[in-house]
Amino acid sequence: MSTAHAPAGRRIQNASRPLLVWAAIVAYLGVVTVLVSTIMPTDFVDASQAGFFEVQGWIAMSVLGAIGVFLSTRTGFPDPVSGEISPWRRFGVPVAIGLVGGIVFLLTDVATGLSKTVAAEYDLPSADIGFPASLFVYSAASVYVEIVFRLLPIPLFLLIISNLMLRGRGTTPVFWVLAILTSMIEPLSQTSSQVLAPLPWTVILTESFTVNLAQAAVFRRFGFLASILVRVAFYAIYHMIGAPFKA
């Protein structure tokens, strides 16, 4: 007798297609790793970020992501390329959310001088990575952020708490508790590097939490690929298109 229970109202997905999608993403991340380590060396604001773009970091994160993808198929998350999800919901909605979030965050940055302050703090010409490396680094970073903040922890703890401990009950409230908690990871990780006055810094952390919570909701509704697209669109506005406005 199986000890795992499918969440009420959500069937267990076949893992093969989501894992194939993940394999394609891993291949792209491998290309980015080679580019960053050879022809596009990059100066990161936080030196720890560079580890994600080294071979060992790529391998470790790819494996953790694959585990998260598999667990998501056991905990009721949708197939990211399922025909049941319309192209607008799979691509349009996530991109729209990311663009809006990026615009709001960019306006806040310009108003508070966040990027200028960060660049001065770390003695860098800019807080953003320059083009064309930015295209590859920020798109790959969108995936790595997803693994750490949602793709692995939410399905893992949802499986343990709802599927195993509660025997398939309470899936929705458990998910939202996990969504809120994981959405706090990024803003809480930034509290130690406060570079602005308390009020504008609180606004920035609140916006960060809101974007993360929106990604968690998109992940649950449309799958992990859609959640990644939210962050890709967000970074496209905030770090790439918006870079000249923050200089």
Query: What is the DSSP secondary structure assignment for residue 89, as one 8-state letter?
Result: I
Write the pLDDT tens digit of every residue in 23-59: 999 999 999 999 998 988 887 767 778 889 999 999 9
Most confident of 3-17, 121-135, 226-240: 226-240
CA distance 198 to 171: 37
Question: How high is the pLDDT of residue 235?
Answer: 97
Q: Could you give the percent of the chain with pLDDT greater than 70?
A: 94
Q: Is 91's pLDDT higher than 50? A: yes
Q: Band of the pLDDT at 231, cuts 50, 70, 90?
A: very high
Amino acid letter, 59: I
Instruction: Give the pair of three-digit tokens for residue 202.
Output: 């609180």
pLDDT in tens, 162-213: 989 998 889 999 999 999 999 999 999 887 777 788 899 999 999 999 999 9
How far, in Å, CA of 11 to CA of 78, rounded?
9
What is the domain partition of the chain in residue ranges?
16-246
pLDDT of 4 reads 45
pLDDT at 83: 84
84's tokens: 């049941």
Global pTM exceeds 0.75: yes
Q: Which residue has 């968690």 as its token pair?
A: 216
Phi-psi region of 9 (alpha: psi -120 to 50; beta: other; left: phi over 0): left
Residues 6+ apart with CB under 8 A from 77: 13, 155, 219, 220, 223, 224
Locate 149 and state its tokens: 């903040």
